[in-house]
Structure 1
């Protein structure tokens, strides 16, 4: 079941032309479209279902610099700066608060394991630090679990996933941008070897550039154009509680639970230590590309063979612009959560913190996270097709990175000086002989 998401009304008509068409109405797509519009470009955003309907509203709601892959740190720092002023741009409270985030350590070995990453934190002046068990009690009063200490970043933040992408989309509309919902993009047209338009289920839009920000759907769309985008899906399972008095303000994760306080007074809860990898036909096609990541992160992955395999096995992988696509057959991906993980998470959280002992669960949901072989996103042009750009594969980091990623993508499309070095996010790293490296993430 989908979490409640703020609605966005579709713009009344599909324009015949725009400078840029953005495909996908998640946090990255709407942020890209808004950044382009503010640069003076006319923009149409096409979303096959509803704005923020998939992973952009189903994530934990963390906006963190702590624990990022070192290649992402400059981008998350810029993104957090954008987040801090986004309420004024969107004209709405997005729930962005610098609440601090805590990674609990049960042993001294875990504490020491964070030291290599802290070198990155010091280099970029993030402010992360190791704190003692006593200091953990100051940040998370009442914690009953015995810990050796924690990694803590006071300036890390939270925001409301169900509010953010819709609010940015409405801001886009108010500034003259077009947002088409229930409008799947089917294909990209070319002329003289470059992008010339997009064919949607509601008609054609002539344009000079296209940004594919389709989340878990991006591999299918790119594949129909002849581009092999290495991307798989991980099932994220999340629940929310009813309002709770006396709970912690800071967000936290242990080995077997994670939580964030919500604007409604409840909490978003997940396992924290385990994720579920959906086995699909692409799992076999991309096994070699993802093997390094699997070797490094296998302890945190549960493999699951279920309905998603059969669903994707039936999907067409090639189609013409006048044919119905998988995007129209499934408007919103709404997977069943891994209830076993969520049961464990709630039981562990209740034991770890007395404030949660009597908390009432309100809802559960699943979401499919788009992941790349190195767990670093693609934010890039595609050299083989001038005018075509991809912003996807955020590997569970997309909500926090979204505003910064949208700005970087807009810079690349516009030909402006990029907000950060885009080289780590180039699409060509998967095909130009570069060694694809996986950092130990947390």
Structure 2
């Protein structure tokens, strides 16, 4: 439906994943008018199809302040969202399969010591004693007892619903067709005829955020990744922790219903919007799962899926203000690890809008670390909705 006059708001947000939705909620709590634009359903992309790990362990020190801030937000999930999202602090255990892996876990424990993650290093004997469900591949490991897991299909959309209850206008099925800046305001065309104006724009478009950054003279080497995921039939409870493997590979967790959620390898993109898990990838995933967890040897898979995530070369996100365009802020490129820190990223973006700075250090995530910005488009009225 077309409008006689453009809709105006304080902040426009492109992208209804956990970052954009949590930013919308935080901005409303600070009193800002917000319109959130999502081309599909909120939380339906990487925020809703990820593994569901809520972990701090394994993150580089530059991300740990964000992760620690998020850790506190996750503890208040029912208060913020009205649901617990199946969030449980079950612990996250990272497995070492060699002496080299174990040395890396020991080095990480020392590197992260100042952040008080409570890491517990387990020897091979301790692993055998505590993990009779684990195959013989482990020579030790590292346990972060207060890390955990949640259901992304519940949590990510719930942030958008909470933002809407707080007064944000959450517009699903509103892809953005055009964005321009006249020197004072952003002008957007979206969905079936919406015209929107706002002095502030948040770029939270996930794997598709690079095009918007480029539009405003800040190209980044953003690429797409496609995680391969699967879930089994319900099994007797045996796995107390969310599991990862040092050096990469399979990851898994068991939910309250007994189903095992598995991830590892890469899906195959069908087009810009759709991905799938191929049979060879699934076969390798199952082989790793059986070697790691003998109790799943005869389990049946009931569903597989993939998605699209944004990756930058250093596996760190872009988070912070544009250096070419006043009022533009970026929050994207979380390399498949944005679910846990997403709520903190949303609060940081809200602080940047409201205060002009954040209490959480984010200098390491500046968009300028990739290349010198090219000149942004000059303010123009041509093609700008009125």
Same fold (TM over 0.5): yes
Q: State the partner residue of 1:402.
A: 342
User: In structure 1, what is the Cα distance between the partners aligned to 2:26 and 2:140?
Assistant: 41
Please tell me whether the aligned partners of residues 237 and 258 of structure 2 are also in contact (alpha carbons under 8 angstroms).
Answer: no
Q: State the partner residue of 1:290.
A: none
User: In structure 1, what is the Cα distance between the partners aligned to 2:29 and 2:20?
Assistant: 14
Q: 1:78 to 1:407 in 2, by over 3 A?
A: same
Report Cα offsets for 1:301-343 as digits up to 9, x if no partner.
Answer: xxxxx755xx6xxxxxxxxxxxxxxxxxxxxx22112432322
Counterpart selection for 2:190 from 188, 197, 200: 200
Structure 1 position 61, deviation (Å) = 0.6
Q: State the partner residue of 1:270.
A: 263
Matched, 1:365 2:358: no
Runs of 4+ in structure 1 displaced over 4 angstroms? none
User: In structure 2, what is the Cα distance between the partners aligned to 1:379 and 1:263?
Assistant: 35
Matched, 1:253 2:244: yes
Counterpart selection for 1:339 from 258, 279, 288: 279
Q: State the partner residue of 2:323.
A: 383
Report Cα offsets for 1:378-410 as digits up to 9, x if no partner.
Answer: 111112110111100001111111001111111
User: In structure 1, what is the Cα distance between the partners aligned to 2:119 and 2:252?
Assistant: 19
Unpaired segments ≥5 residues, structure 1: 1-13, 279-305, 312-332, 434-442
Please tell me whether the aligned partners of residues 37 and 172 of structure 1 are also in contact (alpha carbons under 8 angstroms).
Answer: yes
Instruction: For 1:56-135, list aligned pairs within 5 A.
Output: 56-135=47-126
Report Cα offsets for 1:136-160 as digits up to 9, x if no partner.
Answer: 2455342232421112111111111
Name the SS for the 2:226 alignment partner.
Answer: strand
Instruction: For 1:247-326, list aligned pairs within 5 A.
Output: 247-254=238-245, 256-271=249-264, 274-275=265-266, 307-308=270-271
Counterpart selection for 2:355 from 415, 425, 428: 415
Give the TM-score, by structure 2 length: 0.89
Matched, 1:430 2:370: yes
Q: 1:138 to 1:420 in 2, by over 3 A?
A: farther
User: In structure 1, what is the Cα distance between the partners aligned to 2:180 and 2:146?
Assistant: 45
Give the TM-score, by structure 1 length: 0.78
Structure 1 position 116, deviation (Å) = 2.6
Name the SS for the 2:368 alignment partner.
Answer: helix
Report Cα offsets for 1:72-94 as digits up to 9, x if no partner.
Answer: 01111101111110122100121
Structure 1 position 186, deviation (Å) = 2.3
Matched, 1:348 2:339: no
User: In structure 1, what is the Cα distance between the partners aligned to 2:293 and 2:46?
Assistant: 28
Please tell me whether the aligned partners of residues 212 and 392 of structure 1 are also in contact (alpha carbons under 8 angstroms).
Answer: yes
Aligned length: 366
User: In structure 1, what is the Cα distance between the partners aligned to 2:6 and 2:66?
Assistant: 33
Matched, 1:44 2:32: no
Please tell me whether the aligned partners of residues 219 and 231 of structure 1 are also in contact (alpha carbons under 8 angstroms).
Answer: yes
User: In structure 1, what is the Cα distance between the partners aligned to 2:249 and 2:370?
Assistant: 33
The more displaced of 415-424 and 36-45 is 415-424
Q: CA RMSD in A?
A: 2.1
Please tell me whether the aligned partners of residues 145 and 353 of structure 1 are also in contact (alpha carbons under 8 angstroms).
Answer: no
User: In structure 1, what is the Cα distance between the partners aligned to 2:260 and 2:346?
Assistant: 28
User: In structure 2, what is the Cα distance between the partners aligned to 1:421 and 1:256?
Assistant: 30
Please tell me whether the aligned partners of residues 266 and 277 of structure 2 are also in contact (alpha carbons under 8 angstroms).
Answer: no
Structure 1 position 118, deviation (Å) = 1.7
